[in-house]
Amino acid sequence: SAKLNVVNDRQLKGNAACVHSSSSVLTDSCYDGLYPGHIHTTPFQKALLAVGSGVAALQNPYRHDMVAVLGGDNRTPSVNKYQDKMRNDPEGYTILTESHLIMYDLLLQRKMASLPDGSLGREYLRFLEENVSVRFVDDEELAYVMQRYREVHDIPAYLTGNAHQHAG
């Protein structure tokens, strides 16, 4: 089997690797979606996901999985804005072209797992393992933008000790 180090979505498709939606573990089995973990949904199903995740998130704002489905997996205008900004910025364009995701970087994950508990790298890996991957976005590049956002937006909170603080 091929060794995967830093990979991108195009390499994943070329190697027929897959990430099952229940974990972030790469396997040799093939996937049928636009990207690893993708679940195709109809407009009606997307509406049900939006309503259901919205109700669940209002009932319990600490359900980050429901907040994630509501905020990202339903193609919100803010995600489209991030995508447009990345396309129009030289550095953002490079990031889109390389499509690197930490969740697929097995070597980096192994290094982070070997760090002591409480360290930024080890706690960040736990965060990645516990958070839901993008699954319902039917645009491969937009799904990448959302997944990348999920991977990096909480790092400052961890550095300042404000991880998982919810206003309300």
Give how many domains the chain has, as a whole number: 1
| Helices 43-59/64-71 angle, 10° precision | 140
- Average pLDDT over the chain reads 74
pLDDT in tens, 32-64: 568 878 888 888 998 899 899 899 989 998 887
**What type of residue sits at position 142?**
L
Task: Examine residue 126 and state whether it is found in any structural domain, yes or no.
Answer: yes
Q: What is the DSSP letter of 27?
A: E
Task: Examine residue 86 and state whether it is found in any structural domain, yes or no.
Answer: yes
Model confidence, pTM: 0.67
Higher pLDDT, 140 or 75: 140
Task: Examine residue 20 and state whether it is found in any structural domain, yes or no.
Answer: no
Task: Examine residue 7 and state whether it is found in any structural domain, yes or no.
Answer: no
Quote the domain boundaries for residue 145: 39-160
Task: Examine residue 55 and state whether it is found in any structural domain, yes or no.
Answer: yes
Task: Examine residue 167 and state whether it is found in any structural domain, yes or no.
Answer: no
